[in-house]
Amino acid sequence: MEEARNANIADTIFVELRRKILCGELKAGERLSGERELATKYGTNRNTLREAVRKLEQARLVTVRHGQGVTVADFRKTGTLDLLSPFLQASLDGSEIAHVMEDILEPRVLLLEHATRLAVRRADKGDIERLTDINDLLIAAFDSGDAGVVARGFQRWLDALIDAGHSLIVRWFANPMLDAYRDMVERYPSLWVLEPSFPKHLRDVIRAISEGNEQVAIDATRAYYMRVDGALRGHLQPSSSRDADVSPELPAAGSQDSESTVVPMRRRRSPT
Amino acid sequence: MEEARNANIADTIFVELRRKILCGELKAGERLSGERELATKYGTNRNTLREAVRKLEQARLVTVRHGQGVTVADFRKTGTLDLLSPFLQASLDGSEIAHVMEDILEPRVLLLEHATRLAVRRADKGDIERLTDINDLLIAAFDSGDAGVVARGFQRWLDALIDAGHSLIVRWFANPMLDAYRDMVERYPSLWVLEPSFPKHLRDVIRAISEGNEQVAIDATRAYYMRVDGALRGHLQPSSSRDADVSPELPAAGSQDSESTVVPMRRRRSPT
DNA sequence: GTGCTAGACTGGTTGAACCAGTCGAAACGC
DNA sequence: GCGTTTCGACTGGTTCAACCAGTCTAGCAC
């Protein structure tokens, strides 16, 4: 299955049922078969299956009531951001994915602006050093055009930026989005926005943080992500159909001077 | 226990262990006793206890590895907003609660601004009707000074506002914060910010939504919450010690004309 | 000392039995 | 005929006891 780390039977069933619910195969309000029947269906015993159901319950994907059975919950209404990553992986409705992606962009900028704001206010010397180190690595990777390294390094940059804000709330809000980002990079390794102003953006933000200049940091962040998101939006519309396959090759980084390049996702079907 | 709805043993143990982790009684990296030992300790059997552990794992509060045991995870680093409500309930560190509450205020305003923005753009006739109905109820309750009804009705208002935005992302982001809000109102029923401009705020927002005037809606929201949060912040500092007990009586609503009134929380200990 | 092995942990899985809510249909009483 | 009661057939909840399967370590063999 998709969970490479743990090959638990219970985990596998949990992921499978979650996928079925998130992709609409199991609709809200629908009742699952009894635990005994499900256990047989998945070729395991009741105890193991129950562990999977407990996880579904914890993820608010089902509600369990003694004597009545297990019913699928309306995750669109009661879910949380934890579902973001598995939802993007499971959804079969390309149009809805496009809508969700579109709806992520603005909250993402708001989050990053807020994270940057807190970083300016609260970053200590260690935070700035960490950001500087990652910045150096990122710029080197960017100049050499290694998109994969940049993508992975950027995760560390975001991590460090959020840590620099010293806010539980921002960290907790960011985690599910970082997870989704991680998954996207892993599943669609060719998807990466190469914005020529990327190194300048990083440098500007770090300077603003170390100088304590809040407005400059925010403005730099907002301006950068408006460019990136603009490019992303342009490529999100045409790829609303699921198996769109456009320009799969990864362009070299830094070769453009005024326009950013985006490599649209390419669907990688996992065997079922 | 605190979970009135389901008296499951597994659930009870889950809540108890979660509390211990969130309040720092079990520290990150610490290893839990073996499942067999834990089961004995909680007077149950291994299967039931395992269901509790599965939930902890799903909530990212512990990591379980075959052959090694169960170790407490660093929820401050890996958690999500789902933990917000239980964390506020469990934490014993009044100072940290105050910090977290302070850190919530700005994201909350950003979220509400964004939700309002989307509502202006996307609300349909049904959404506006629903908001108008709730608005009427709220204003009636506000004028009659029934703080409890206002508090509960305000949850429905927020719900309707978020629904009007038709955004999965905003809904999923908001849910944990609404949960936390619900808990706070329930546990500290005397905590409520009575802002004289509340009815005007509601009316302004609804008018702006139905007229499609985005900027007005945002400005009204921002201005209102700056006042509310200002009042809240003023009362958050002194009540940083846990058992602060200040002016427990609930003032009548609408009696002030230029200043909002806040009733600080009063601790209601649940039996253990 | 180094390397291997055996054992004592750990969680993972299994099957069966029984307890306990919930619901509906059949039986009963009117 | 209709309302009420009851019982049985579901559902999940809990318990037990055994065994499988990783992981680590102490101690043995070299």
C-beta atoms of A172 and B104 within 8 A: no
Question: Which nucleotide across the nucleic acid strands is nearest to B65, CA versus C1'?
Answer: C11
Beta strands per DSSP E along chain A: 62-65, 69-72, 193-194, 261-262
pLDDT of residue A255: 39
C-beta atoms of A76 and B168 within 8 A: yes
Q: What percent of chain A has pLDDT over 90?
A: 68
Cβ(A108)–Cβ(A225) under 8 Å?
A: yes
Instruction: State which residue of chain B sits closest to A85, comparing Cα positions.
Output: B169
Cβ(B142)–Cβ(B100) under 8 Å?
A: no
A71 touches strand C (CB under 7 A): no
C-beta atoms of B79 and A171 within 8 A: yes
In a structure prediction context, what are the per-residue pLDDT tens digits for chain B, which is 272 residues long? 344 456 799 999 999 999 999 999 999 999 999 999 999 999 999 999 999 999 999 999 999 999 999 999 999 999 999 999 999 999 888 889 889 999 999 999 999 999 999 999 999 999 999 999 999 999 999 888 888 888 899 999 999 999 999 999 999 999 999 999 998 888 777 667 778 899 999 999 999 999 999 999 999 999 999 999 888 887 766 544 444 433 333 333 333 444 455 544 444 444 43
pLDDT band at A184 (very low <50, low <70, confident <90, very high): confident
A84 touches chain B (CB under 8 A): yes
Q: Looking at the predicted structure, is the pLDDT value of residue A224 above 70?
A: yes
pLDDT of residue A148: 83
Q: Tell me the H-state helices in chain B.
A: 9-22, 35-41, 46-58, 75-78, 84-90, 94-122, 125-143, 147-164, 168-187, 198-211, 214-236
The 8-class DSSP code of residue A31 comes to: B
CA distance B121 to chain A (A): 13
Give the model confidence (pLDDT) of A14-36 as tens digits: 999 999 999 999 999 999 999 99
Q: How far is CA A255 from CA A143, A145, A230, A250, B129, in A?
A: 10, 9, 19, 12, 53
Residue A78 to residue A83: CA distance in whole angstroms:
10
pLDDT of residue B109: 96
B206 touches strand C (CB under 7 A): no
C-beta atoms of B172 and A110 within 8 A: no
Per the structure block, which two tokens stand in for B233? 């912040």
Per the structure block, which two tokens stand in for B3? 């979970």
The 8-class DSSP code of residue B69 comes to: E
Per the structure block, which two tokens stand in for A157? 């940059």
C-beta atoms of A10 and B58 within 8 A: no
A260-271: average pLDDT: 44
B102 backbone dihedrals φ, ψ, rounded to 5°: -60, -40
C-beta atoms of B170 and A83 within 8 A: no
- Cα(first)–Cα(last) distance of chain A, in Å? 8
**B25 CA vs C20 C1’ separation (Å):** 34
pLDDT of residue B14: 97
Least confident of A50-59, A232-241, B32-41, B228-237: A232-241
Residue with tokens 């940091």: A217
Residue type, B41: K
Question: Which nucleotide across the nucleic acid strands is nearest to B68, CA versus C1'?
Answer: C10
A108 vs A264, residue with greater confidence: A108
Residue A8 CB neighbours (<10 A): 19
Give the model confidence (pLDDT) of A95-148 as tens digits: 898 899 999 999 999 999 999 999 999 999 999 999 999 999 999 998 888 888
A228 vs B194, residue with greater confidence: A228
pLDDT of residue A108: 96
pLDDT band at A217 (very low <50, low <70, confident <90, very high): very high
A169 touches chain B (CB under 8 A): yes
Question: Which nucleotide across the nucleic acid strands is nearest to A35, CA versus C1'?
Answer: D12
Task: Among A59, A80, A104, select the one facing B81 at the smallest CB separation.
Answer: A80
Residues of chain A found within 8 Å of residue B80, distances taken between Cβ atoms: 80-82, 172-173, 175-176
Instruction: State which residue of chain A sits closest to B78, comparing Cα positions.
Output: A175
Residue A119 to residue A116: CA distance in whole angstroms:
5
B5 touches strand D (CB under 7 A): no
A46 touches strand C (CB under 7 A): yes
State which of A3-7, A182-186, A257-261 shows the largest mean pLDDT: A182-186
Question: What b/e sequence results for B130-151 when a residue is b if at least 16 CB atoms lie within 10 Å of its CB, and e otherwise?
Answer: bbbebbeebbebbeeeebeebb
Q: How many residues does this entry show for chain B?
A: 272
Q: What percent of chain A has pLDDT over 70?
A: 83
Q: Which nucleotides of C are covered by protein (CB under 7 A)?
A: 9-17, 20-23
Residues of chain B found within 8 Å of residue A181, distances taken between Cβ atoms: none
Helix (H, G, I), strand (E, B) or coil at B212: coil
Cβ(A54)–Cβ(B55) under 8 Å?
A: yes
Residue with tokens 């994969």: A148
Which of A45, A173, A221 to mutate against chain B (most B CBs within 10 Å)? A173
The 8-class DSSP code of residue B261 comes to: E
A5 touches strand D (CB under 7 A): no
Which of B68, B106, B168 to mutate against chain A (most A CBs within 10 Å)? B168
Per DSSP bridges, beta strands A193-194 and B62-65 are unpaired
B261 backbone dihedrals φ, ψ, rounded to 5°: -115, 140
B190 vs A203, residue with greater confidence: A203
pLDDT band at A243 (very low <50, low <70, confident <90, very high): very low
Question: What b/e sequence results for A56-75 when a residue is b if at least 16 CB atoms lie within 10 Å of its CB, and e otherwise?
Answer: bbbbbbbbbeeeeebebbeb
Q: Map A196-245 to HEC letters.
A: CCHHHHHHHHHHHHHHCCHHHHHHHHHHHHHHHHHHHHHHHCHHHCCCCC
A177 vs A270, residue with greater confidence: A177
Residue A1 to residue A15: CA distance in whole angstroms:
8
B52 backbone dihedrals φ, ψ, rounded to 5°: -65, -45
Which of A172, A175, A177 to mutate against chain B (most B CBs within 10 Å)? A172
Mean pLDDT of chain A: 86
Residue B20 to residue B36: CA distance in whole angstroms:
19
B64 touches strand C (CB under 7 A): yes
Cβ(B55)–Cβ(A55) under 8 Å?
A: yes
